A and B are shown apart, each in its own frame.
Chain A
Amino acid sequence: MKLLIALAVMLSGAFLPAPAAAEEAASYNLGDETTVGVRYVSSRNRGNRGRLQQYDGRQYDFAEADLGLSLWGEGGLFDFGAQGINSSEESAYFDLSKGEHVRLHGSFETLTHRQAFVDSGIRLDEQYRKNPVIGHYRDGGGATGDAGADDGSDLFFKRHESEVRTLIDLTTEVPSWISAEYWREDEKGTTSGRYPATNPGTGAQQADLDRLTQEVALAAGVSGEEAGALYEHVYREYDDYSIVRTTSAIRTNSSSYVVRPRGATHKMNSDEVKFRYGAPDSAMAYTGQVGRRTRLNTDTGYRLDDYVGSLAASYNPSAHLALLAKFYARGVQIREVTSWRSILGTQGNVSQIDKNTVRAELQGRYSLHMAQLKAGYKFEMNHRRDAPTEVFTKAAVYADGNTWGAYSQNNQVETEDIKHIANLGASVELPLGIEVEAGVKRYQANRPAYESMPVYQDNANGGLMVPLPGGFSLMSSVDYTHEKNNKSNLTFSNATYNNYMAALNWASKMFDIGINAARQRTRAYSAGYWGTANNYSGSNNVVNMQHDPGLAYLSKDDTIGAQVNARLPKGLTVNGGGSYTKSKGAIPVSFTAPFRTTGVTGAVDTTGNVTDLQPTDTQISRGNVRVEYAATKDVSLVAGYSVARWTDRLDSAQRGHVNILETGLTAKF
């Protein structure tokens, strides 16, 4: 932040001529846009901050200030702004122009990202149960406590995003330019580290987080009226400086388990050429790009090569007709490092998949009087090489008589799949301003790439907009999707997704008020194959396992919201809003075998068989009001209040609420 401000001030002096001479000073507009704002925020919160206040950088007691300054004229432009100075989420930017040829931009932004502790317990039926094996969250000092609001965990990291970019117009016959950009994102703080445990031990621990992504982009381009092209080279580097902690209490394969968010450090280089042809008001337009990208894993030497090419052509002879054709091709190849594999030893099969994708698309839109028709077709073919083979060497016999022999297949990833996607839609403008729209979409694949993907998917959607007397308007939409995979190797899967939405708005010269409601339903079914350690004994086949042919995931989300914007007389502005979201989800199960909730070696649960896995029942309420009063043309006062509440009906440790009061003053000079 300070560096950015210093850079802006330093460069502004170099870029803009000193307004020493009276006539030179007169050519600049200085100070017209200088603003200073101060704000005080008072916050009171209780409960789990990791859930409710996930992004809470400006939700604590502090006094902050904003500053804005503009200087512009024929010789150049200097525009500077800083917000939230002294808060946890400072941000700033500057823009500089030197004449018509040189531009410089810089920005800085902070995000505080509070982390939820690892929810290491089990949600079964209608309650949250402590995990009998891996215990609960353990903080950095080694103290074990219950995961929850009172465990003292305070995990968060700060993300700083900075950017400086410049563009220079070259004074040549051809309108050409060069540009350079530097972008960085660093994240520092703490988060939840997780790793597997065997016998009673810690499965979650506070972990250090310190990582940095930097990017440099150099580009050159020509920009004519009818045609333009650019070449850009991007270098990106991702480094992880987190303090690594290992624990010897945990079983290892090649070394101790690492307690930090791992991720592979890498360096990426990409080259890209983009072009366009066709004047903005001409009927034909062509755009396209060709690029290559390599990403090198700096830990292991593994390398990804990625080639992408696309070409699109549009034909818009009038406002009534729009046609579009697109072609897209991509090839991805991962180069292995055998020496690294030999270090690791035998841990499984090759899992790198090289993939080529070809896609072609046609879209059309035709407007006729008050109606508009849309149609489209997309074809996609994927070809994969080196899909890993996975084996299951034992036959399985299920309690319901379902049997599967010893098993071997390419990890359920198809070598080749072809998709066809067609869509058709229409919208009609009826008398009285009523608008109706409807569409259908059909997705068809010869086979799914993964078991979770559908063989076919049907979608139907519709919308209605009705302007009502007195400035009211009503809007509603419905979206229904059904998908099915009936070519799975093991069983079927299918799912339906229903989304409904309605909104009522009222607008007048002074008021803009709206309420909205949404309802989302998901019903997904797949097969469940359950086993226990008792079903398998050494070299024998597995027997008497459970097979649930219709294992389901059901979820419901209901949201209502309202917002008010009022522009009242005498410089008074009132903005407010609120929302309430209720979410429920569960995986209903019916185990015939007893379910132990006291650990694998513990006693059988005497409370009966479990009926729900991982149920959720969450309610989130948010509300805010903000009043702004323009005392004079240049001075305004602001006061705001917001409240939010998170209720988890199954786990009290997740609950929390926060109240925030904000007052401030802004002055322009």
Chain B
Amino acid sequence: MPPVRTPERKLMKPKQSSAFSCAVAAAFALVAVFAITGTARAADQAEKVGATTCVGCHAEYGSFSKSIHGKAWPSRQKIAFEQSCETCHGAGSLHANSGGDKSNPDFATIKKPTALTVADQSAICLSCHKKEKELMAWGTGAHKQNGVSCLKCHSMHKGEGKAQLAKSETETCLNCHKNKRADLQLASHHPILEGKMGCTGCHNPHGGVEANLKADSLEETCFKCHADKAGPYAFEHPPVGESCANCHKPHGSQNAYLLKQAQPFLCMRCHKWPHVERSNGVNATSITNLEQRSRCTDCHHEIHGSDRHAAFKN
């Protein structure tokens, strides 16, 4: 027997005093059980009526045929426009016959995906989108585990673009990940504000092996576009291979090249030894060098690795 699913917590009422709330909760539960079982039985009895009937009341959805789903379904899924509404919302005859009367139990027999659990929403979407490589890890992905459903980001009726996002891609992500907005405004940033790159340039919101990244590690994610940093080099700078985030703040920084801290401080956190013995142990910053050059990378400019010079100067 499949587990009984209950509505999301958003639908719950504020807590009352304990005895009273217990009684009210029991009453609500009883009503809910009857309502759910009754609804399920009624929904099973509904028949399909076709999109023309739906649009008769919901005229605002008449343009669905021009959406990406409306265009792709006829050929890819053999779902004609007439069948489109009930593909996701279920058979609608009882709902249609209720005439918009919300007090009529039949009115609620139509399936409303936004009110479903994450798993049930996913089941609707994944019934078609099961071939996408990007969705392979959805079942164990961070968004699903945290109760973020498909319709939290995508809007079938009001979404724009191929991804049918309710807002722009960046705004969709920043809606929850608010603390990243300020980073994107800093002096050094990826071209996200400029609209030339989205969060999905690096992240796979449908689940990834490592922090929802598209590749299986941070550095491999970066290397796809920054291929010149990938190596392998004859002289590796070890932190590069471990994680680009050792030195860079990918969402934005006040320092050039997205550096976490300004040079020479950033370099000196590891390279503490004096920079005065030139042939051996050249390992830190000297005043002499600061007097001549402003940053470590002015000389060690191949800092991501070099095939020619052990100190990354060429």
Contacts and interface: CB of A to CB of B under 8 A. Distances in A.
Interface string A542-586: 100110000111010101010000000000000000010101111
Contacts of B120: 281
B236 to A, nearest CB: 5
Contact of A302 (B139, B145, B234, B310): B234
Given A238-B230, A501-B181, 9 more contacts: A77-B76, A167-B131, A236-B227, A240-B228, A280-B127, A319-B117, A369-B9, A583-B254, A616-B187
18 contacts: A72-B74, A100-B78, A132-B292, A219-B133, A258-B308, A262-B306, A280-B127, A304-B232, A318-B6, A351-B236, A369-B9, A372-B9, A450-B242, A532-B287, A533-B288, A551-B268, A553-B265, A555-B261
Interface stretch (B93-101, B106-114, B278-286): B278-286
A526 B137 contact: no
B277 A542 contact: yes
A194 B298 contact: yes
A192 B186 CA distance: 22
A501 B216 contact: no
Interface string B129-148: 01101001111100011110
Interface stretch (A4-12, A438-446, A595-603, A657-665): A595-603
Interface string B164-204: 00000000000000110110011100010010100000000
A600 B292 CA distance: 7
A477 B179 contact: yes
Contact of B236 (A353, A529, A587): A353
Contacts of B254: 555, 557, 583-585, 616, 618
Given A55-B194, A120-B298, A449-B242, A285 B178 contact: no
Interface residues of A, number: 200
A383 to B, nearest CB: 13
A367 B8 CA distance: 9
Nearest to A545: B274
Interface of B: 2-10, 12, 14-15, 65-66, 71-72, 74-78, 80, 117-120, 122-123, 126-127, 130-131, 133, 136-140, 144-147, 162, 178-179, 181-182, 185-187, 191, 194, 196, 207, 209-210, 216-217, 220, 224-225, 227-239, 241-242, 246, 254-256, 261-266, 268-270, 272-277, 280-281, 283-288, 290-295, 297-302, 304-311, 313-314
A169 to B, nearest CB: 8
A555 to B, nearest CB: 6
A392 B15 contact: no
A194 B303 CA distance: 12
Contact of B262 (A232, A258, A614): A614
A278 interface: yes
Given A326-B140, A392-B283, A274 B4 contact: no
B145 A365 contact: yes
Contacts of A123: 294
Nearest to A169: B131
Given A196-B313, A369-B12, A501 B179 contact: yes
Interface stretch (A137-145, A148-156, A221-229): A221-229
A253 interface: yes
Nearest to A406: B281
Contacts of B270: 412, 450-452
B9 A367 contact: yes
A225 B234 CA distance: 48
A535 interface: yes
Given A274-B136, A300-B234, A531 B181 contact: no
Contacts of B237: 351
Interface string A258-278: 100111101010000011101
A182 to B, nearest CB: 15
A644 to B, nearest CB: 10
A314 B65 CA distance: 37
Q: Which 3 A-B pairs have the closest CB atoms?
A: A263-B228, A348-B310, A392-B281
- Looking at A175, A322, A411, the one whose CB has the most chain B CB atoms below 10 A away is A322
B227 A613 contact: no
A280 B113 CA distance: 14
A458 interface: no
Contact of B230 (A97, A257, A264, A520): A264
A355 interface: yes
A626 B126 CA distance: 38
A126 to B, nearest CB: 15
A656 interface: no
Nearest to A118: B298
A390 interface: yes
A392 B277 contact: yes
Nearest to A324: B145
B160 to A, nearest CB: 13
Nearest to B80: A74
